[in-house]
Structure 1
C-alpha cells in the first residue's frame, strides 16, 4: 500500500523538536525535488531502518523529519544490549586516556554504548564520513540525524569549521558499526574510538586540510594517542573507490591496534572514508604543530533544555551547582552533586530571578541565555 501521508517535524539545533502536522504526497515530492536543485543547500537522507521515512539536512542546523503515518514505530535500541565486562572493569583497563576532549560540544544524553567485550585487545580508531556537506551549520543537523537513527559514533568532526562534538565518552563504545553476526564489532579493543567526519568518501576531506590550523583536530588525535592508539594503519591506506573496498581481514582487526577506515572492518559494506591522506590522519606524533590560534573554551556550552530532567547524572550538574552557590543562589542542604534534583531547580530559579527573569522565564529550568551568563566551568 502506497504512503499517502507523512508526519512532519523539525529537530532544532538544540535538539528540541517541533511537530508540524501531516503532509501529503505532493508536498513530499516537492521537498525531494527541491533538495535536488544545486542552488538549494538541502540534502535528503533516507532512514536506514524505517521504510518511507527520510530526513532533510538544512544549512541552518535544523533537521526536517518525515515519517509515514502508517509506519511501524521506530525506537532507538542499543544493538549491543548487555556488556560482557562491567563498566568498572572497562574503565579500569581503558582509563589511560580522557573520556572527553576538552571543549567539545556534547550531543544527546551521552549514553550510546557500553563497555568493551575485549578490553585486553589493542586500542583502535575508526574513521567514517557522513556522506553529507561540511561547513555551515551541518554539524548540528548531521548530529541530530545520527541520534535519530541510533547510529552515533563517539565523535563527530567538521574539517571546515574545526568543530568537534561527542555523543558519549571515548571510554565506551559507539554504535556506528554493524555487528558481524554475533560479534559486536563496536566493542572491540581497549577502546574503539569512532569518528564521523562531515564530508564525502569520493572527495577526501584531507585535501587542502592543514592540521596546524585545526586545534580541535589536534586535540582529538592527542586524545587517541593518550589511549595508546598507535599512529599506524594495520590494513593500509583506506581504498579510494567502492569497488576497491574488499580487504576486511578479521584477524588483523582482532589483533592489531591503530587506525582503520569503515571500509576495512569485518562485517561492513561501506567504503568510507575514501582515500584520506594517512600522513595527516593521524600524522606524526613527533611533529611540532603551531600553537592554537584560539584558546579552548573555558565554560561548558549549553547542553540543551532536554538535558535537565529527573534522573540526569552528570558532572556538568555539579559544576553548575557550585557556580550557583558562588552567585549566592544555592538552595542546597547538601551538595551540590551530579544528580538533577529539586534543589538544583530551586537554585537555578533564584539565579534566573537574580538576572531579572520573571514568570515562565524563571521556572528553574536552564535556558541558553541564563546558562551563558552563569559561566559554568568546563568539566
Structure 2
C-alpha cells in the first residue's frame, strides 16, 4: 500500500529529479486531513489553474475560496518550471471521479473513458488517492505552455512515480478522471506519459536508454475465473491473494490468510473492491478480472 510521503521525503525526491522547489508558508501542515483520508496513494493528477501570474495563482491554490477551501493542490507548477509546494496532505483538487479510472491507474492499464464527476452516483473520492499539481495556464487552448513548464511537469510526475515504483500509467489529467473537466488543455496526456516513461528508464540526469524500463508483465498470477472462487478452492493462490489483501490494508482475517477460501477471504476482497470505488453488488467480495489485476497477486 502506497502511503503519502513525509514533507521532507517529497522535497527530497523532487529535488533529486532536478525540480526547482519553493516551500510556501506552512505547507507542511496545511491540508484537509480533517475532512477525509489521504491515502492509499495511487497516482498523480495534473490540472491547469485557469489563472495567470505566478504569485496570484500560488495564493489562490494555497488559500482557496469560499466554495472550495484551500489547499487546492499539492504543488503549483509555474511557467518558468518552479514548483511551489502548497500541501503535503489531503487537498481539494480531484473531487469525485470514475472508479473504473482508478482501477486502471492502480493496475497501470489503459484508461477507460470517464463517465463520473463530483457528486454523481458511484463517484470515487480522488482527493484521497492522488497527488495533484496545478499548472499556471488560462486553459483556453491559446495560453502557451513553455518548455520549462512541461519539463517540470515531466520531472515532478517522474519523481513521484520513481519513488513508488510506478510507470507513467499512474499519471493522469483531471479530464481523464472527471467528465466535467477539461484540464490540462493545450497538450496531450499520452505524449506526457511517453516523456515520463522515457525519463523513468534512467536515473536522474543520466543519458536516456533506447528503451524505457518497464515492469515484467509475467510476475503476477492471471485471473483464474470468477467461477473458480465459488467452488470453495484450496490453493496456494488463495494464500498469495490473502497476503496481498493484508499488504494493501484490506485484511478482515482473524487468523491467516491460508490456502482455503473462506468467508474471511470474501470479506477482505470486498474491502479491496470498496477501496477501488466499487459498491453494492460490485463489492460483494467475489473477485473479478479488473480488481484482480489491480491487486497484483504474485505467481505461485
TM-score by length of 1: 0.36
**Which one has a bigger Cα radius of gyration?**
1
**Which structure shows the higher strand fraction?**
1
| Bigger helix share | 2
TM-score w.r.t. length of structure 2 = 0.43
Greater RCO between the two (CA within 8 Å, min separation 6)?
2
